[in-house]
Structure 1
Amino acid sequence: MTLHSRRSALGLLGATGALLAMAGPGVAQTGSDLRPGGRLDRFVADRAAADQFSGTILVAHRNRPVLTSSHGMADRSRGIANDQNTAIDLASMTKSFTAVALTQLVQRGEVALHAPLGDYLDGFPADVARVTIHQLLTHTAGAGRPGLTNQRPPGEEEWDSETDIWLGMLAYLRTLPLRFTPGSQWSYSNDGYFLLGAVTAAVAGVTYYDYVRRNVFAPAGLTHTDFYTRPQVIADRTIAHGYLSQPTGDRVDITTTPYLPYLGSPYHGAFSSAPDLLRFATALHGEKLLNPACTHLVTSGRHPLSPTDRPVLAGQLQLYGYGHVETIAGKDRIVGHSGSGPGRSTNIDVFPDAGWVVVVLSNYDTSIRPIVELAQELVRSAVRRE
């Protein structure tokens, strides 16, 4: 039986201020399809009942949640249900945190966007050392492995500390050749974002994890967000276990498999709750993490994406920026990022001009795309009626 809890948490995040001043105060009276019992809520509940979704969906307008709905189990073996504060593995949504962290250093004048990687990290082949920070941020550098690959660093399965992961990955990435001429094409790169995290740590003089905790998570007011170790994920009742789909239809707890690493990194593996992601969106778009110019840098698209790069609905234009994807859908602008992998599927969509935010976090790897697309449709409809 699917466990389901729902609440309209109006005012949950009132302390963080309005998402955008232009959105105005108060909660919209439109968008009934986005409220408890509405079309989106029923759709998600139906998918959960069919064991196609497990996790939390949060819809907010003008910084106030109008729908928070949780389904399924965070830990089946202990009978722990997901709730709105359950922290779920964000997968590649982690890149948004890394982009903000690195851009803070750009804002301070400590990193230059068009400076080469070799200005900050040594030991790389000459052609790799020449790729720029901008190219790494936009996935146009050509450094590291292809985005979808089974290629793994030697001995990775034995890494069981932060130091092992950090030193092991950097040593491995220093052995890899450039895959294409930098700037000549777009190719999604996890390794590029690991290098950005390494630049952040080298310039800031602290570990990547400590920098992000102090300069991104803390000022944004995130209380259920962190990079958790595998032992922490297993032990903590507030952290969801991911469930990997099997050809038989069964699902396997990834804490019992090699698919859960000892610790995440700058490109994947931060855990967060839906309310925390709303706080992050509020802080970022409200210019509390970066100044206006750098906020625009991070949240605006730079490189057009084709349908082969990333699934896109007919009539939409998508551009990859700095750890964010900007979607132009008719008159609407949507900014966010998705994440996926064994035992997780996640997405955040921010409608900065209209003040809507939709967070979908699942500890299943079943696609959440149908939920995301319906939510986009319903928000855009609500915007038209406002």
Structure 2
Amino acid sequence: MTTTRRTILSLAGATPLALAIGNPAGADPGHLTVPDGLRPGGKLDTFVADLAAKDEFSGSLLLTHRGRPVLSRSYGMANKALGIPNGPDTIFALASVTKVLTAVSVVQLVERGKLSFGAKLGTLLDGFAPAIGESVTVHHLLTHTSGLGDFHRAPGFWETARTWTSAQQVMDGITQIIRGMPVAFPAGSSHTYSNAGFHLLGAIVAKVSGLSYYDYVRQNVFQPAGMSRSDFYTKPQWLTDRRIAHPYTRPESGERIDDIGNRYFMGTPAGEAFCSCSDLDRFAQALLRGKLMSPPFLQIYAGGKVPLPRTTPPPGAPPLPEPPPVTLQCYGPLGRVRGGQWIFGHGGGSPGISTSFEVYPDSRWTLVVFSNYDPPATLPIEEMARQLITGQR
């Protein structure tokens, strides 16, 4: 049988709408128009300003169309103690948006022939029980269908994590903790969000590439995409680098406090790379222009694999449209159909961090929203932008 582009996409489970990726000429001419609601002074701009005025949003956003800025705004303080405001070049912790970087790294290695989506975990990393090592594949890890859960919830994790003082200790320590974690279901039989799975993907990237996970992303994602402000900054750097926003969480007392003290030494493949809004937009543009992988593999990366149930919008977010949007798990990102468009991206959150990232490949919109306040600070903004871009309420 001749292996065609469409055959590759079919085998990978790419959705038909993913075929539009990398084909701007096929976009509807209406997509060339910038709605008034997305322009400066429009509905989105006013909405974000109102949230900031009520101290419900602190951070930065960047909305671009075909690589050109349409709306860029920053509010609040990056460092309250030093009086440093958030700005367009402020660097924010990504939380789980980091997973899109890890997934790109994995797909790159598959494209280069160094890895397979069907490769078994046990053939790549040692120390796992046969029931896990012989059944969990790279595909399962990428789609959150491995049955592995969240290493942060493992007994004793935080006590151990706070003793780590190097990148290698972080990677090796978490991998060892995951080896002792139970699985919630047999691989491929269900879906549950898995920080453990994405950490293991990072360990696989290191094993296959011969580089540390962090160096691989620096050399193969950040550098080719021109992401000069992006890195996996350490906790000491986070404390002292004036460019990086501090995370401000609000406990029951109601007063926002700096949460850096509760973090461990360094982020992981599952979360806490650092990036500015413009750098993450550069990442999106590099993806769409084939700088990080070829168009067929981008379609594999951003095509839907596993259907997800409908979610309930967070407090303060606009109501979801009727009929409900179709949402699928891709290889790292989430994908959804909205107003006849395919959208892929990811969100993230932890105390004092809320992040949203969405790419509209056929109409060429990209939205990046970073906040140094608790979730769901960015989600109402993301939903408002989505309604205005797609024309669907």
AA matched with 1:251: R
Distance 1:310 1:171 in 2: 36
Distance 1:376 1:84 in 2: 21
Residue aligning to 1:334: 343
| Structure 1 pair 171–146 and aligned structure 2 pair: CA distance change class (3 A) | closer
1:44-193 to 2 correspondences below 5 Å: 44-130=48-134, 131-143=136-148, 145-146=149-150, 149=153, 151-153=155-157, 155-193=160-198
Please list the CA deviations of residues 34-69 of structure 1 after superposition, one character each: whole Å capped at 9, or x if unmatched.
111111111101101111001111111111011100
Superposed displacement of residue 208, structure 1: 0.2
| Structure 1 pair 20–38 and aligned structure 2 pair: CA distance change class (3 A) | farther
Structure 1 stretch 356-365 or stretch 188-197: which is displaced more?
A: 356-365
1:317-332 to 2 correspondences below 5 Å: 317-332=326-341
Superposed displacement of residue 127, structure 1: 1.2
2:304, 2:330 within 8 Å by CA — same for their partners in 1? yes
1:125, 1:177 within 8 Å by CA — same for their partners in 2? no
Q: Are 2:379 and 1:369 equivalent residues in the alignment?
A: yes
Residue aligning to 1:302: 305
Distance 1:80 1:261 in 2: 24
AA matched with 1:296: Q
Superposed displacement of residue 123, structure 1: 1.1
Please list the CA deviations of residues 342-382 of structure 1 after superposition, one character each: whole Å capped at 9, or x if unmatched.
1110111111111111111101114122111111011113x
- 1:200 aligned residue (187, 191, 205): 205
Q: Are 2:223 and 1:214 equivalent residues in the alignment?
A: no
Q: Are 2:357 and 1:359 equivalent residues in the alignment?
A: no
RMSD, aligned α-carbons: 2.3
- 1:313 aligned residue (320, 327, 339): 320
Give the match's secondary structure for 1:164. Answer: helix
Task: Report percent identity of matched pairs.
Answer: 44
AA matched with 1:197: G
Q: Which runs of 5+ in 1 are unaligned?
A: 1-17
1:245, 1:365 within 8 Å by CA — same for their partners in 2? yes
How does the TM-score come out when normalised to structure 2?
Answer: 0.87
Distance 1:105 1:75 in 2: 38
Residue aligning to 2:243: 238
Distance 1:151 1:273 in 2: 34
- 1:269 aligned residue (265, 268, 272): 272
How does the TM-score come out when normalised to structure 1?
Answer: 0.89
Superposed displacement of residue 20, structure 1: 6.0
Q: Which runs of 5+ in 2 are unaligned?
A: 1-20
Distance 1:179 1:326 in 2: 24
Q: How many residues align?
A: 362
